[in-house]
Amino acid sequence: MTLRDIKRGWLRSLDIIGDIAVIEVKPEFDEIKHEIAEKILKEAKYIKVVVEKKSPVSGEHRVMDLEWLTGERRFTTIHREYGCIFKLDISKVYFTPRLSTERMRIARMVRAGEVIVNMFAGIGTYSIIIAKRALEKPSKIYSIDINPHAYNYALENVKINKVEDIVIPILGDAKEVITSRLMGVADRVLMPYPELALKYLEYAIMALKDSGGIIHAYDFIKYMKTEDPRNKMKERYEEKLKEFNVEYEILDIRRTGEVAPREYRMVIDIKILNKNGFKRF
Ligand SMILES: C[S@@+](CC[C@H](N)C(=O)[O-])C[C@H]1O[C@@H](n2cnc3c(N)ncnc32)[C@H](O)[C@@H]1O
C-alpha cells in the first residue's frame, strides 16, 4: 500500500511539512486513526511524525490545533523548498507547502534592486525564496509578522539561508510598522493573508513609493455556478481602489488553490500607477 492509497482510502487531506505528515482523517475512520498513522510511518520512511489537524487555521497567528498521533514526539521540523531551508514548529506558526509554486511565481517577477514589503511574512517563506531564487536580486525585503514565534523562526531562517543582507524580519502589526517606519519605501508589496488583505490594502498603498509599484493581494472567493470567481475578485479590489482614488492597472488574477467546494484562494496583481490623489478613509 502506498501513501497515495492511504490518502485515497482514509484521509480528507495530507500535507507533508518537512518530515511531519499532517493528516485529516475521513470522519468514518476516526476510530482507526492511530492505525492509519502507523501505516503512514511504515510506508513512507522519510516521515518521522504523524499529527492530526483538529481545526482549520485560526486566530490572529493563523495556527491549527494539532493532535500528535505517532512517531517522534515533536512538532518541530525542517522543510525544504526550492533549495531554501525553513525551520518551524507547526503548532506555533502558519505554514503551507501548497503555495510553493505561487512563491516561485512571485520570485520570478522581482527585478534588480527592488525594495519589497511582505506584510504577513510568517517564518519568512516568500521573502527567503525571493531573496534566494529571484533571477535579479532585490535590495531589501522587509518581512513583517505579528506572531513572535514566526518572527523568531524568520530570524533563524534568514541566517540559515544566508540572506541577512536582504531579508529584514520585523515583529509587529503590518499597519503600525508601515505607518511608523515603511511609508513610501517599496516597489512591491506582498499581502499573503486572505483574511486581512482587503482591509489592509490602504497600508500596502502607503508602503509603495510615490511613483507606485506592484501589490500582490491574496483573498478567498466564494462563487456560485453562474459566477466567474476572477470577476468577483476583480470587482472586490476595484471597488476599494476607486475609493482610494489611485490610478491602477490589474496585471493578473489567478487561482492559487481550492479551499472548499466553490471557494478559491486567489491572488490579484495590481500595479499602482499613480498615488497622487490617494485618499484614506
Ligand atoms: C496566512 S499566514 C501567511 C504566512 C506566510 N506568508 C506564509 O505563506 O507562510 C498570515 C500571517 O500573518 C500574520 N499576521 C496576522 N495579522 C497580522 C498583522 N496585523 N500584521 C502582521 N502580521 C500579521 C500571522 O501571524 C501569520 O503568520
CATH T-level topology, domain 3-74: GMP Synthetase; Chain A, domain 3 (3.30.300)
Q: How confident is the model at residue 83 (pLDDT cuts 50, 70, 90)?
A: very high
Report residue 4 as a C-alpha cell. 497515495
Q: Angle 207-209-213 (CA atoms, 0-180°, nearest 5)?
A: 90
- Reference 203, options 120, 274, 141, 131; nearest CA is 120
| Residue that has been written with the C-alpha cell 544566508 in this structure | 162
| Residue that has been written with the C-alpha cell 482510502 in this structure | 9
Domain boundaries, the chain: 3-74, 95-274
Confidence (pLDDT) at 219: 98
Confidence (pLDDT) at 281: 66
pLDDT in tens, 164-182: 999 999 999 999 999 999 9
Percentage of the chain with pLDDT > 70? 100
| Residue that has been written with the C-alpha cell 486513526 in this structure | 33
Contacts of 42 (CB under 8 A, 6+ apart): none
| Residue that has been written with the C-alpha cell 492511530 in this structure | 34
Q: Angle 194-199-202 (CA atoms, 0-180°, nearest 5)?
A: 120
Residue 93 CA, closest ligand 1 atom number: 27
d(CA 39, CA 107) in angstroms, rounded, equals 37
Task: Say if CB 2 and CB 43 are below 8 A apart.
Answer: yes
Confidence (pLDDT) at 183: 97
CA of 10 to the centre of ligand 1 (A): 31
Q: What's the N-to-C CA distance of the chain in angstroms?
A: 58
pLDDT in tens, 180-237: 999 999 999 999 999 999 999 999 999 999 999 999 999 999 999 899 999 999 999 9
d(CA 142, CA 167) in angstroms, rounded, equals 6
The residues with which 22 forms a beta bridge, in sequence order, are 15, 51
CA of 22 to the centre of ligand 1 (A): 20
H helices of the chain, in order, are 3-10, 33-43, 100-109, 125-133, 148-160, 174-181, 201-207, 229-244
Specify the residue with its C-alpha closest to ligand 1, atom 9: 95
Note whether 3-74 and 95-274 share their fold: no
Specify the residue with its C-alpha closest to ligand 1, atom 6: 121
CA of 60 to the centre of ligand 1 (A): 8
Q: Are strands 188-191 and 167-171 parallel, antiparallel or unpaired?
A: unpaired
Report residue 116 as a C-alpha cell. 519589497
CATH code for the part of the protein at 95-274? 3.40.50.150
